[in-house]
Chain A
Amino acid sequence: MNPIVNLIRTRQEQQELIKLLEILLEDNFKNKLHETKIIVGSEATRKIHEELIKLITSQGINDKPQEKEKFLNSLLAEVKSLKSIKITLAFEPSDQTLSKLIVWSQKNLKANLIFDISIDPEIMGGAIIVSDTGKYTDSTLSRKMDEFFDAKKLDLSTLL
């Protein structure tokens, strides 16, 4: 597996990297990798771009457009084939949280997965997870609290 693939954590990063690789491939025979002018979206993708330049330079293929093209095409195919888990969180995850998620994923899941994240503050905490097969798990704080209050509703109404 290409080490660059391990750096991708989210669906957004995957999409940005696919665009980046397509631009690099288009520009391959005109410029060297670092000479192509690219406006990269997120900080994470900028880092991946830097790592990619380092890797290609270390492999000595930056001056060899044909080999470089082969490398980039192979990487693009790998990036595109990545599977994702749909996960709803209560807040925009920090870099630290994302790293924790990836570490957990690499330890606990066989396939190399990335996270397709959406945000819903109503869930308060925890996560709603939908697998690629469509299985749904609601482990949100909001749901846990609703369950608690439903259980205690009778007790509370007698108090009122």
Chain B
Amino acid sequence: MNNLPELNTLNILLGWIAVFSTSILLITVGALIKSHRQIQRLREEEKAKWQELEVRAQREYQEIIQNANKKAQEIMLQSIQIKKDATNNFQSSLDSIVQNQKDVLSNTSLEVTGKYKELIERANQQNIDILTNIYKDIEKQAKNSYSRYVNLLEHQTFEAEKIAETRMKEEYEKLEIELKQQKELKLQELNEKIFKIIQKVSKEVIGRSITPADHDTLIIEALEKAKKEGSL
């Protein structure tokens, strides 16, 4: 019972603390909820802004693409036109160049043909003149040479005849001697051949006419001769 007043104070204090804590907790929770709602709202706003930005960006992008296509088409049309103009211009200038060239060549050809014809005719005439002169010179020289040659030939023929006569005489004598020698040699060879033929024929005839008994006798004679000579 003595502790009752103390207990009461403590209880009151604890009650106060509890009340205070609870109210702080409630305030804090309330603040948290509020801030959470604010964050959510901010997020939604942000999302809506982003969507709007995206839509706008897409729209701008499409516009850019359309403009670019348009520009490209214009450029292409312009380039086709330029090409067409350039081709026409080139063709016409080419035609005119070709025509000019033809004219120039035609004129040049005529001039050159005329000039060369004249030159060739002149050269031909000169050649004919030169050849005619050369021929005349040669004819003249040949006639002179021929008469000298005839004289020389006559002179030489006379001498050659003399030399030939002497040489022929010498050769004839030499030939006669050679022929005589050859004749003697051939006769000697012929004699040798005849002698050999006689020898051969004689041997064959004698060889055939010998009987086996004669052969035996000849062999025995040979042995006896060898014995006599001391070979056996």
Report which A residues bind B (CB closer than 8 A).
85, 87, 89-91, 94, 96-97, 100-101, 104-105, 108-109, 124-131, 135-137, 139-142, 145-146, 149, 153, 156-157, 160
Contact = CB atoms under 8 A, between A and B. Distances in A.
A160 B199 CA distance: 14
Contact of B214 (A109, A125, A142): A125
Contacts of B225: 137, 139
B231 A137 contact: yes
Interface stretch (B3-11, B35-43, B140-148, B201-209): B201-209
Contact of B229 (A94, A137, A142): A137
A104 B215 contact: no
A148 to B, nearest CB: 9
Contact of B221 (A85, A126, A153): A126
9 contacts: A101-B223, A109-B232, A126-B221, A127-B219, A129-B232, A135-B226, A139-B225, A142-B203, A156-B198
A101 B221 CA distance: 11
A125 B226 contact: no
Nearest to A100: B216
Contacts of A94: 212
Given A108-B223, A127-B223, A136-B231, A97 B216 contact: yes
Contacts of A141: 206-207, 210, 218
A125 B227 contact: no
Could you tell me the dominant secondary structure of chain B's interface residues? helix
A125 B215 contact: yes
B207 A129 contact: no
Contact of A160 (B195, B202, B203): B195
Given A91-B215, A104-B223, A135 B229 contact: yes
B194 interface: yes
Contact of B218 (A85, A126, A153): A126
B160 interface: no
A156 B199 CA distance: 11
Contacts of B219: 87, 89, 97, 100-101, 126-127
Contacts of B203: 124, 142, 145
Contacts of A130: 231
B222 interface: yes
A154 to B, nearest CB: 11
A139 B226 contact: yes
B232 A131 contact: yes
Contacts of A157: 191, 195
A29 B135 CA distance: 122
Nearest to A132: B232
A85 B210 contact: no
Contacts of B195: 149, 153, 156-157, 160
Nearest to B231: A135
Nearest to A122: B203
Contacts of B224: 108
